[in-house]
Structure 1
Amino acid sequence: MKPDSTTERGVGIALLERLTEFRLPRVLQIKERVDHGERLSDDDVEFLELVLADSANAKPLVDHHPELEVIAVKLIGLYHHISETALANEVQSSSAGVSDSTRAP
């Protein structure tokens, strides 16, 4: 059964509120830390996995509302940047001989 427009609108509003109030601020904090050379903590990895799962759940809404695609593409770019930068930080940290005990909390 296809959701009616009121239900879909409510879901969209809830997803955007969660994004702006909770997800995006933390993602931007993580970005800032990895941009300064820090490694991801286990909590950061769990959070990013949760955010990516949420993104998959939001895909049908974005598919039905192409105007949201701009936001989705920017978020994907942000997650990609964080992943690539975090990986580079891990590689640099490993090649410098830094132990896991220095991993960010």
Structure 2
Amino acid sequence: MNQEAEDRGLAEVVLERLEKERLPRAIDLKDKVDAGARLDDMDIAFLERVFADTQDLKPMVERHPEYHALAARLMELYEHITAKALENEKAG
């Protein structure tokens, strides 16, 4: 299988997971921290998985400029969640 076909298959899986699992959970976490709550162990484990997956996907995203804007927006979302969670920890 060539790199393009492999990337296309991986992108399909990642985008489906993003739509059905990751994005809804991330939005819930954003709402949670925006309301002043702290992240629990399951929330932190989720973010750790997301960040590990992000590192694994980085080469594919770099090869495909069409995913750059999406990846940037997702990273902004996760950065907001972690920054706000840290702020909540310090305040609480």
Query: Which TM class, normalised by the smaller chain length?
Result: over 0.9
Partner of 1:88: 87
Aligned residues: 92
Residue pairs, 1:38-77, within 5 angstroms = 38-77=37-76
User: 1:83 is matched by which residue type in structure 2?
Assistant: T
- Alignment identity in percent? 43
Structure that is richer in helix per residue = 2
- Secondary structure (helix, strand or coil) at the match of 2:52 reads helix
User: 2:52 is matched by which residue type in structure 1?
Assistant: A
- Secondary structure (helix, strand or coil) at the match of 2:38 reads coil
Query: Unaligned regions of 5+ residues in structure 1, if any?
Result: 94-105
Q: Deviations over 1:63-105 (max 9, x none)?
A: 1101100001101111110011000100110xxxxxxxxxxxx
- Return the index of the structure with the highest Cα Rg: 1
RMSD of aligned Cα (Å): 1.2
Partner of 1:103: none
Deviating beyond 6 angstroms after TM superposition, the runs of 4 or more aligned structure 1 residues are: none
Partner of 2:14: 15
Distance, in Å, in 2 between the alignment partners of 1:16 and 1:61 is 13
What TM-score comes out, normalization by structure 1 length? 0.83
What TM-score comes out, normalization by structure 2 length? 0.94
